[in-house]
């Protein structure tokens, strides 16, 4: 089919490339001319494992452009995959979605199905459909369908090609048939529901996972107090099929483009309708507090960080991506700098984005973990990169001025630090070789 995808971020570009790999002719549209020129060369502008390779393999099925008139006028299906960032009140900013809808209304010349891939509040599909019909110029039928994404950064290509489910939200037969045809070569369960149910499935799914993470982190914090080991606790929990073992890893909170935004958006939507989802509200509060867990632990060893050399390992919100949105590093590093620390950061892919988010000339960016920890007074681990998990821990003792490692992702087994002379603090487990002053 002839498909256009509006937006070439994580959702839009991954969707477009994966659809092209199934034989569709896909036009990827973006307003950024430099970004489009990069993609026209077969280069992905975002770091996502496997995406560049898949893009290059199916370039014959891909077109990249900034010309929305040409992209929309004869497309059979138009996916909207633009951003819906949160506003200051927690609600979703739909301005980019409406901008695309307005362009479609003015340029579409044939019957087509507009598919909202972006995460939007419940009822948005109805409003977008009415908006398009009100502003439509040409004599054609434009349908609107919901098709939420369930991809995770770092595994987005796999999550799209081998989806756990494909949710098709329609209130009419024709757009449902079109989307079933679009996805006929995708080997995944296809669920056809109403549009509002599809919108809610996205929020309900993400918020449930956020709840699970926050719950486990609260259990982890209590484990530290009562002397239990959260990894042993979650091991026992995970064998219960009703619970499962996914999203039971204790840490310093969730981040990224989905969970923080979607929990706040659903909480706002409930409040707007004079309702309250207390569990989601609590998850947001727990997560905000959890991000500061390591700083609080470190206060046992230093009253402040003035003139201390502080190593930071990992600044992205999780491994496998260069995305920093809602990453714990964005909260912690400014606090360290404000306290007078000399901060040295190592991350395999995220430092360039970090420089843009925290433009501070006092931060030193390191090429290796060894460089970051040399002469450090304390080391914080914010991202569980493989390079960190497989690091020779004896180097912490050998290279650091004072070997104190605060691990926010439980990268190591406690046994590795027994008798090592390294103070090792983690989440939901006892501290090894504590040297509190």
**One fold for 2-193 and 202-290:** no
What's 202-290's CATH class? mainly alpha
pTM: 0.91
Q: Is residue 126 within 8 Å of 195, Cβ to Cβ?
A: yes
Mean pLDDT across 182-192: 97
CA–CA distance, 139 with 137 (Å, rounded to integer): 7
Dihedral over Cα of 139, 145, 147, 148: its sign: positive
CA–CA distance, 108 with 75 (Å, rounded to integer): 8
Cα–Cα distances (Å) from 410 to 138, 223, 239, 337, 384, in that order, read 58, 14, 20, 24, 8
Q: Tell me, which fold does domain 293-425 have in CATH?
A: Rossmann fold (3.40.50)
> What is the three-class DSSP state of 405?
strand
Closest of 114, 111, 87 to residue 103, by C-alpha: 114
| pLDDT tens figures, 364-414 | 999 999 999 999 999 999 999 999 999 999 999 999 999 999 999 999 999
The two three-digit tokens of residue 316, written as one number: 């992205």
- Percent of the chain as helix, strand, coil, to the nearest 5: 45, 15, 45
| pLDDT tens figures, 20-70 | 999 999 999 999 999 999 999 999 999 999 999 999 999 999 999 999 999
Query: Edge to edge, what strands does the sheet with 364-366 contain?
Result: 364-366, 342-346, 309-313, 378-381, 404-407, 423-425
> What is the three-class DSSP state of 79?
strand
The two three-digit tokens of residue 285, written as one number: 């509060």
List CB contacts of 331: < 8 A, sequence separation 6 or more. 291, 292
Dihedral over Cα of 303, 305, 308, 309: its sign: positive
CA–CA distance, 292 with 61 (Å, rounded to integer): 46
* Domain parsing of the chain, residue ranges: 2-193, 202-290, 293-425
CATH, range 2-193: 3.40.50.720
Dihedral over Cα of 419, 421, 422, 424: its sign: positive
CA–CA distance, 296 with 430 (Å, rounded to integer): 15
Q: Label the pairing between strands 309-313 and 142-146.
A: unpaired
Q: Please state the φ and ψ torsions of residue 69, each to the nearest 5 degrees.
A: -60, -50
CA–CA distance, 77 with 111 (Å, rounded to integer): 9
Q: How confident is the model at residue 107 (pLDDT cuts 50, 70, 90)?
A: very high
pLDDT at 361: 85
pLDDT at 272: 87
193 sits in which H/E element: strand 190-193
CA–CA distance, 363 with 179 (Å, rounded to integer): 49
Q: How confident is the model at residue 436 (pLDDT cuts 50, 70, 90)?
A: low
Catalytic residues: 258
Q: At how many degrees (to 10) do helices 124-135 and 95-107 cross? A: 40
CA–CA distance, 409 with 429 (Å, rounded to integer): 11
| pLDDT tens figures, 213-253 | 999 999 999 999 999 999 999 999 999 999 999 999 999 99
CA–CA distance, 197 with 179 (Å, rounded to integer): 17
pLDDT at 360: 87
The two three-digit tokens of residue 206, written as one number: 């993400």
Percent of the chain with pLDDT strictly greater than 90: 92
């Amino acid at each position: 089919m002839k498909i256009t995808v509006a937006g070439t971020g994580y959702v839009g570009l991954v969707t477009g490339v994966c659809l092209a790999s199934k034989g569709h002719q896909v036009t990827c549209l973006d307003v950024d001319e430099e970004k489009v020129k990069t993609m026209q060369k077969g280069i992905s502008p975002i770091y996502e494992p496997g995406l560049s390779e898949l893009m290059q393999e199916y370039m014959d099925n891909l077109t990249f452009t900034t010309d929305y008139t040409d992209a929309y006028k004869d497309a059979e299906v138009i996916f909207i995959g633009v951003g819906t960032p949160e506003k200051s009140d927690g609600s979703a900013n739909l301005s980019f979605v409406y901008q695309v809808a307005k362009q479609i209304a003015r340029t579409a010349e044939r019957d087509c199905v507009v598919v909202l891939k972006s995460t939007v509040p419940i009822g948005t599909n109805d409003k977008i459909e009415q908006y398009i019909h009100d502003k439509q110029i040409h004599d054609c039928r434009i349908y609107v369908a919901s098709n939420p994404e369930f991809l995770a950064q770092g595994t987005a290509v796999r999550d799209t090609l081998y989806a756990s489910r494909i949710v098709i939200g329609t209130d009419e037969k024709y757009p449902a048939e079109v989307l079933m045809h679009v996805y006929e070569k995708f080997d995944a369960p296809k669920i056809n529901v109403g549009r509002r149910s599809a919108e809610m499935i996205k929020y309900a799914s993400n918020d449930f996972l956020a709840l699970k993470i926050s719950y486990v982190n609260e259990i982890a914090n209590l484990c530290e107090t009562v002397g239990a080991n959260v990894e042993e606790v979650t091991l026992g929990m995970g064998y219960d099929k009703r619970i499962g073992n996914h999203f039971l890893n204790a840490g310093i909170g969730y981040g990224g483009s989905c969970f923080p935004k979607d929990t706040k958006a659903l909480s706002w939507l409930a409040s707007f309708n004079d309702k309250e989802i207390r569990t989601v509200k609590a998850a947001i509060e727990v997560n905000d507090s959890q991000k500061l867990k390591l700083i609080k632990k470190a206060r046992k060893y230093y009253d402040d960080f003035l003139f201390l050399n502080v190593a930071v390992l990992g600044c992205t919100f999780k491994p496998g991506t260069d995305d920093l949105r809602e990453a714990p590093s964005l909260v912690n590093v400014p606090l360290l700098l404000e306290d007078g620390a000399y901060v040295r950061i190592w991350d395999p892919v995220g430092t360039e984005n970090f420089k843009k988010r925290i433009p501070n000339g006092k931060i030193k960016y390191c090429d290796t973990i060894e460089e970051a920890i040399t002469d450090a007074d304390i080391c914080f681990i914010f991202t569980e990169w493989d390079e960190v998990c497989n690091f020779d821990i004896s180097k912490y003792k050998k290279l650091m001025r004072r070997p104190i490692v605060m691990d926010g992702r439980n990268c190591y087994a406690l046994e590795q630090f027994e008798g090592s002379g390294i103070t090792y603090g983690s989440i939901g487990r006892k501290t090894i070789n504590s040297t509190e002053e």
